[in-house]
Structure 1
Amino acid sequence: MHRQKKIFSLVKQQKIPLARLHRVLDTEGNTLLHHVADMEHYRGGTKPGPALQLQEELQWFEQVQEVIPSHYATLPNNEGKTASDLFKESHKEQLENAQKWIKETTQSCSTVAALVAPVVFAAAYTVPGGSDENGKPNFIDSPYFLVFTVSDVFSLASSLTSLVVFLSLLTSTFEQKEFHISLPRKLLVGFTFLFFADDPVWGDSKQ
C-alpha cells in the first residue's frame, strides 16, 4: 500500500482480506509494519510543522501496529532490523528537524511570554480613570472596571503559565517517543495560554 493511509483505512474495514495482509512478508522479510516505518514513499504529512508531522508518523505507526500480530512488531527482516529499528533509522532526519523546530519555536514563545508578563503586571497598577483623593478608583463601581481587573489578572496568570510550559519544553530530552503525545500537547497548551495572555493586553491598549 506504500503508506497510503486512506487505502489502509478502507481495507481495514474489510476484515477478511486484511487478516491475510497482516501476516504477509515480502522477499526481504519485511512485515506490513516495516513498510510503514520506511520513508521511501513518504510524500509529506498533512499537519503543519516538522514536530506535528513526526507526531503523525508515530500515530500512523501505532495504528498499524495495533492490527498486526503482536510478535510481528519485534520480528526482524533479512537485515536484522525490527520495524521500530527501521522507523528510528528512516525518521532520523525528520526527528532532527522536529527537534530544531520545536526548540526555536519554544524559545521565541518564551521570549514573548516573558515580555507580556511585565506589561500585564504594570497594567494592574494603572487604574483606569484614575483615583480620588482617598486613593479609591473613580470607576470602582463601574462594571467595566471589574472586567478590566478580571481580564488583567487572567492575562497575567496566562502569561506566567505559558512561560512555565515553554520553559518545561526547553528542558525536555526531545526523544522521538516524546513527539507522540507529550511535546505536541505541551506546545498546544503553551500556545493556548499565550494567546489568552496576549488578547487582553491588546484589548486594554485599545481602550
Structure 2
Amino acid sequence: MNSNNITKYNTSLYNAAINGDWEKAKEIFDADPRTKFAALDQRGMTCLHVSIKVSRSIGFVQQFVETMVSGDELANLRTGCGSTPLHIAAEVGNTVAADIMCRKMPRLPYIQDYNEDFPVHTAAKNEHAAILRLLIGITTEEEPYQNKGGLRLISDTIHAQFFGIAFSLVEKHPYLATLHDPTIGSALSTIAGKESVISRNPASRFISCSFFDGSIHIAHHAVICATKIGNHEIVEMIIEAFPNAIYSSYMESSPRSIFHLAVLNRCEEVFKLLYHMNGHKFVYSDVVDNSGNNLLHMAAKLAPSHKLNQISGAALKMQREIQWYLLVEKLVARSSKIQINNKGKTPKMVFTEEHKNLEEEGAKWMKETSQNCTVVASLIATFMFSCAFMVPGGNDGNTGLPIFYRQRMFFVYALFLFLSLLASTYALINFLSILISLFFNIKKPG
C-alpha cells in the first residue's frame, strides 16, 4: 500500500477518532492494520490517544483496547514526547478510559514518558482529582513516589489544593514529607508559600509529619517561604512546633533573619507576630547583614512593587512607606537609628535615597488631585452661595422676607444650605492650602 493511501487513511482515522466513529475506524484497521499504531498529528498521537483526549465516545476507547491491541502493544503506543495513552487520560482527566486501560495492562501506571513523569504525576500536574485518586490507588509500587519525582507529585498535589489526597499520600509514603530539593522545596514549604487561605488542619498535619525524621532544615526553609509572602498563620504553627525555626536565616552567607525578611517585604502581620513572641523580640534587632544593614535599614528600602501596587496614588504609597519606617523605628534600639552601613549611610539617608522618585511622584499627584478637587469645591460653593439669595417661593415685596420663612421645611432647607456652604468652603480652603504648601511638610523619618 503506497504512502498516499496511508495518508488518506490517517486523515479518515483521525476524523473517526474525534467523532467516536468506531465502525469507520474498524474498516480502516481491517484494510491496513498498521494504522492502529500510526501517528495522526504533529505531536505523534495515535487514534487511541486522540479518542481519549477528545473523550466523545468511551465506547471507541473500549473497543480499541479490548479488540485491537495486546497489553504490550498498548504500552508501546507512544507520542513524540513518550506519553502513553494513560498519560493522555491523566492529562485530560479521562478516568473511565484510564480504568479500562489499566485493567488491560496493569503495568501501564509504571511507564514513564520522556520527561520521566509517571501517569500519576501527569494527573497531579493537570489538577484532575478523580483520576489522581484512581492512579494513586492502583500505583502501589514505590518507584513513582521516590526522590525528586515523589517530591514533584506531592508539591503538584498541594498546588492543586488537593490537601486530602496529599495527606493520604504522606500517610502511605511518610518519607514524602521529608523530601527537599533546592528548586522544588518541600511539601511543607509548598503549603507555606501559598497565598490563598489554608485551614490550620492540613498545614498542621504536614508540620507534624515533617519532623518525625528529624528534618529540621525543612522547618527553616518553610518558615522563610511563609515569611516572604506574609503567611503569618503558617509561621506561627511552624514556630510553635519547632521554636528554633525563629532563628532561620534566608541567606547562607548573611545573618539576615526572618525579622529582616518580614521588614523588607512589608509583612506586617508576620513582623508583629515575631515581635510579640516573648524572648525573641530583640534577638536580631541589632544584627546586620553583609552590607552592614540593620533592621531599620531594611525598613528604609523601597517596598517590593507588588506591595506598593496594592495602594493607589503615589502620595498614599509614600505615606504608607513612612508609617512602616516609623513603626519599625519604635521597635529598634536608639543606636540602630544612627548606625551606618558599609556605604556610610544611616537608615534615614537610605530612606531619602530610596524614596526620592516616589516622593516627587507623590508631590505631583497631590497637586494634580488638589487642583481638580479645588475646581469642584469652587463650583459647589458658588452654587450654594447663589442659593442663599434665590430662596424657594421668592421674597415678600413689602417686607423683603422669604415667603415661606415661617414654615418648618424652610428652616430645614436653610440649615442644610448653611451646612453645604460651610462644607464646600472648608474643602476649598483645604485644597487651596495644599496647593500653596510644600508636599515635604509631611512628617518624614528623622
Answer whether TM exceeds 0.5 for this pair.
yes
In structure 2, the CA distance between the partners of 1:15 and 1:47, relative to structure 1 (3 Å rule), is farther
* Alpha carbons 2:303, 2:321 under 8 Å: kept: no
Match of 2:301 in 1: 38
Match of 2:50 in 1: none
CA distance in 2, matches of 1:69, 1:131: 71
Deviations 1:4-51, CA, capped at 9 Å, x for gaps: 222111111113222111111111110001111112634334443221
Matched, 1:21 2:284: yes
What amino acid does structure 1 have at the position aligned with 2:275? K
Matched, 1:53 2:317: yes
Matched, 1:163 2:417: no
CA distance in 2, matches of 1:41, 1:112: 35
* Alpha carbons 1:54, 1:95 under 8 Å: kept: yes
3-state SS of paired residue (1:22): coil
Match of 1:88 in 2: 352
Question: 1:9-158 alignment to 2 at 5 Å?
Answer: 9-39=272-302, 41-45=304-308, 46-134=310-398, 135-158=400-423
Match of 1:198 in 2: none
3-state SS of paired residue (2:317): helix
What amino acid does structure 2 have at the position aligned with 1:80? G
Aligned residues: 179
CA distance in 1, matches of 2:338, 2:311: 29
CA distance in 1, matches of 2:350, 2:416: 50
In structure 2, the CA distance between the partners of 1:179 and 1:114, relative to structure 1 (3 Å rule), is farther
Please, what TM-score do these two structures have when normalized by structure 1? 0.80
* Alpha carbons 1:55, 1:179 under 8 Å: kept: no
What amino acid does structure 2 have at the position aligned with 1:154? L
Compare CA radii of gyration and give the structure with the larger one: 2
Match of 2:438 in 1: 173
CA distance in 2, matches of 1:34, 1:42: 18
Deviations 1:39-64, CA, capped at 9 Å, x for gaps: 26343344432211111110100110
CA distance in 2, matches of 1:13, 1:111: 48
Q: Please, which runs of 5 or more residues in structure 1 have no aligned partner?
A: 181-207
CA distance in 2, matches of 1:79, 1:114: 50
The alpha carbon displacement at 1:107 in A equals 0.6
CA distance in 1, matches of 2:304, 2:376: 39
CA distance in 2, matches of 1:36, 1:109: 33
CA distance in 2, matches of 1:50, 1:156: 31
The alpha carbon displacement at 1:139 in A equals 1.5
CA distance in 1, matches of 2:341, 2:380: 53
* Alpha carbons 2:311, 2:317 under 8 Å: kept: yes
The alpha carbon displacement at 1:178 in A equals 0.7
Deviates more, 1:22-31 or 1:154-163: 154-163
Match of 1:8 in 2: 271
Q: Percent same amino acid among aligned pairs?
A: 35
Give me the CA root mean square deviation. 1.7
Please, what TM-score do these two structures have when normalized by structure 2? 0.38
